[in-house]
Amino acid sequence: MRPVLVLVESHEESVRDRTFELLTIARRLGDPVAVVRHPADAASVAALGRYGAKRVCVVESAVPDAGPVAVAVEGLAELAWQMAVSAVLTGAGREGREVAARTSVRLGAGIVTGAVDVHPGPDGPVTVQNVCDGAYRVESVVRGDTPVITVAPGAVAAAPAPVVPVVERVRVRPAEPARAVRVLARTPKRRRPAVSGAAVVVAGGRGVGSADGFALIEKVADALGAAVGGTHAAADLGWCAHDALIGQTGAIVHPRLYLACGISGSVHHRAGMRHASTIVAIDTDPSAPIFRIADVGVVGDLHEVLPALLAELDRGRRGRSPWEA
């Protein structure tokens, strides 16, 4: 059986459970080889053996200041070439994704991300992915050698299959970190709350009119300390980030205040925001469905209403009642 590389992830010196899930999958595909970044203690090696790692390769960097991702990429690539492995498996978390992407480039190999299952097939590992919120399951086989696969947490239940692993050391020389870049200044990223869990959400739809127009939504959100949300239309047009999408295919939110701007209020959008305690809607069309669920409705052009709202908020901040002339 050909070896299968598994990138080991640890937390506070313990091997993460998701690594045991990867080893369980690796056993279906070949002989599991756990790839550990130095240092690996006896307890970690024993734990990896309990889940079937026949070999534990401890990767050490010959370059002192190489980062953990660079060491992992170099270790996986080196071992994949040496052992002619049948697959490389990593977790689908942030680090696993980055290592997998860079390893696939290094190997010139195909990559499948977020697999919810992997099983052997006549032409190599068959990966299963959920798409369209799980409405479809897609099966893929990577063409060419050495598929790199990131596996979603909980894809399989980790099942023990104890062996005593052989421990080997692998010394790699990751590329030197780029030294030609000098950081001149750092601008902190504006920290806006994410839509999920935000107390106030200011959301824009197609009625905002343009990406530049969306800056007005962001300005109002910042004035209220709110999260920025959007409809499918706004996200598809690239006016707001996809993780700002609210509705049936996006986030479901329960804020105290939801300010809907230029949003017609389709059933799909309402599915994500109808539980807000107070809904304020601004729309030029008095028959827009959003007004059926709004607590406060403003029939008007958001490009006039929102600047007026900002001015009132500014007056309020400067200590004067917004209602004073």
Ligand X SMILES: Cc1cc2nc3c(=O)[nH]c(=O)nc-3n(C[C@H](O)[C@H](O)[C@H](O)COP(=O)(O)OP(=O)(O)OC[C@H]3O[C@@H](n4cnc5c(N)ncnc54)[C@H](O)[C@@H]3O)c2cc1C
Binding site for ligand X (CB under 6 A): 205-207, 231-234, 245, 247-250, 262-264, 266, 268-269, 272, 282-285, 288, 301-303
Nearer to ligand X, 51 or 258 (CB): 258
Nearer to ligand X, 250 or 297 (CB): 250
Closest distance to ligand X from the beta carbon of 238 (Å): 13
Residue 36, beta-bridge partner list: 58
Task: Considering only CA atoms, give the Rg of the chain.
Answer: 26
Residue 189 neighbours by CB under 8 Å, 6+ apart? none
Quote the longest CA-to-CA distance of the chain: 82
The encoded tokens of residue 42 equal 């006896």
Nearer to ligand X, 104 or 231 (CB): 231
Closest distance to ligand X from the beta carbon of 240 (Å): 10
Closest distance to ligand X from the beta carbon of 160 (Å): 41
Nearer to ligand X, 305 or 313 (CB): 305
Closest distance to ligand X from the beta carbon of 190 (Å): 24
Q: Give helix then strand counts, H and E, for the chain.
A: 9, 17
DSSP 113-143: EEESEEE--TTSPEEEEEETTTTEEEEEE--
Give the C-alpha separation, 120 to 147, whole Å: 12
Give the C-alpha separation, 8 to 23, whole Å: 9
Closest distance to ligand X from the beta carbon of 286 (Å): 9
CB count in 10 Å sphere of residue 95: 14
Closest distance to ligand X from the beta carbon of 227 (Å): 15
The phi, psi pair for 323, rounded to 5°, reads -90, -5
Nearer to ligand X, 2 or 242 (CB): 242
Nearer to ligand X, 220 or 288 (CB): 288
Our measurement of the distance from residue 208's CA atom to the centroid of its chain's CA atoms, rounded to an integer in Å, reads 27
Closest distance to ligand X from the beta carbon of 2 (Å): 42
Nearer to ligand X, 91 or 262 (CB): 262
Give the C-alpha separation, 177 to 158, whole Å: 36
